[in-house]
Amino acid sequence: MHVPLVVLGGGPGGYAAAFLAADLGLEVAIIDRDERLGGTCLLRGCIPSKALLHVGRVLSEAREMEGWGIHFPQPSIDLDALRARKDKVISTLTGGLATLARRRNVTVIHGEARFTGSKSLEVKTAGGTETVTYDHCILASGSRPARIPAFDIGSPRVMDSTGALELKDVPETLLVVGGGYIGLEMGTVYAELGAKVSVVELTDTLLPGADRDLVKPLQQRLEKLFAGIHMRTKVAKLEEAGSAVRVHFEGPEGAFTKDFSRVLVAVGRRPNSDGLGIENTGVVVNAKGFVEVDDRQRTADPHILAIGDVCGEPMLAHRASHQGKVAVEVLHGEPAVFAPRCIPAVVFTDPEIAWAGLTEHEAATAGKTVEVSRYPWAASGRAHALGRTDGLTKLLIDPETEAVLGLGIVGAGAGELIAEGALAIEMGCVARDLMETIHPHPTLGETVAFSAENYFGLATEIYRPRADSTNQ
């Protein structure tokens, strides 16, 4: 079988690339190991986790209504129905992708593919093995949960993020190994469903790399929701202990041991660049396993481009989708490049944390001078109406040009608010542009404008004494 363009991987980047290629008149085939299109994000990542987080948030809001004088009975959780609803969300979306592929005449091959050369793949399907040749290939093989060999003790009670999303049960106690976004999101789900959740993190902070002022409100809330948070602590050993997993810790308080019903290992992800026969091509893979590409998504092999998780950080679905479109435009002869000024990121905990552009952590690491203007949600009428004054919106501004370099938000719905910051950065806006854009009131979105007002000393909802003021 020969196809002008093969897309290896049917995730957000892969199917976006294939569908655009078809729309531009190219004959294209997608090869994916899963029985359904969607990749990790749709099948066992972004979408199912957000569906479960929605359930957790509703349960949390029901409890919060106690403070408003609204009392609900103790919820009864039907796990079978919950799993069915989660699976329905997935099946609806995967079904939609299958329909879109058929309408575009995109050939979909389900099987394991391996490069046998720069222009050929060997594909093992349920019906046997076939050779697929092509003019160009877009490698979109994604990533998978990172594993720690010492934790592979052969116990079903030790799971990764994929296993956690299966929601086989709600354990009495759950240890989450890793304080990154995956661990905290899934820990939140299980805690809201009734598990006693503990988190262990090797570094001195949750969400390493995120700004501390954004993490603080989340950590304060998680300290109430979780049974325990152990920082600067290492899991030295796991072992089965009857109906539990015995965990050996080493931390500031010394060595200690504790049993848990289940353990979730969430220590990051690694690219799917191994086992694909890449060594049979001219593609270069770096020491971390990432495929090296230029700003047009081209690899060192003229017949192969690469997009998404397999070619570097950040491992985000929206980054992969944009790279997929760039790769197709390049093949179509367009002067396209992947050169975003920012890629927004969201942690879908409660409260959510989102940022776009430069962070304070990055600025400090690079030795770059920035001015930071913060607006506490305690001054927001909308936040008070929602009972969620624990939020914060901040702008990072170039002190010389007043250009908006970054936006950071922690609070309810932060993920829905961050797009304004991404647009401002991409458009090259200055702080005054945000300040003079009239935002609707009362909304959480207006805290972005208020942050800009605060930068100029013009925020009326908070009081900031003038530097030259004196007490009479």
Tokens read off for 19: 């569908």
Instruction: Reply yes or no on whether 441 is catalytic.
Output: yes
Distance CA 188, CA 89 (A): 20
Do 174 and 198 meet the contact criterion of CB atoms below 8 Å apart?
A: yes
For helices 46-64 and 79-103, give the axis angle rounded to 10 degrees. Answer: 140
Phi, psi of 196 (to 5 degrees): -90, 105
- Cis before 351? omega within 30: yes
DSSP notation for 19-69: HHHHHTT--EEEEESSSSTTHHHHHHSHHHHHHHHHHHHHHHHHHHGGGGT
Q: Which of 162, 173, 177 is nearest to 238 (CA)?
A: 177
Distance CA 10, CA 114 (A): 15
- Cis before 440? omega within 30: no
The one-character DSSP state at 423 is H
Active-site annotation holder among 2, 332, 384, 441: 441
Do 403 and 428 meet the contact criterion of CB atoms below 8 Å apart?
A: yes
Hey, how many other C-beta atoms are within 10 angstroms of the C-beta on 289?
13
Q: Name the H helices within 138-235.
A: 161-165, 181-192, 212-225
Tokens read off for 431: 């702080």
* Cα dihedral 180, 243, 228, 383 sign: positive
Q: Which of 98, 138, 108, 143 is nearest to 31 (CA)?
A: 108
Catalytic residues: 441
